Amino acid sequence: MKTSEIVGLADAEVIEKIKDARAELFNLRFQLATGQLDNPARIKTVKKTIARLHTEIRSRELRAERDAAAS
């Protein structure tokens, strides 16, 4: 998921995407441990997606704090 796609999501959707990505990462790790993982690079991609989602949440928090302080 690209950053431009994440910016357009609502807060609740971003949180839901994080939950989904964490579940996917858990499943990928489980597949890796059992030797069933076809694409090991997918783990790295999912981790980066989770980081992007967390970054967007934090930037929204900071923007809200800055706007509140400016008012």
For 35-65, write each residue's pLDDT tens digit: 999 999 999 999 999 999 999 999 999 999 9
Q: What is the CATH number of domain 3-70?
A: 1.10.287.310
State the DSSP string of 16-63: HHHHHHHHHHHHHHHHHHHT--S-THHHHHHHHHHHHHHHHHHHHHHH
The reported pTM is 0.91
Q: Give residue 44's identity as a one-letter amino acid code.
A: K
Interatomic CA distance for residues 67 and 1, integer angstroms: 28
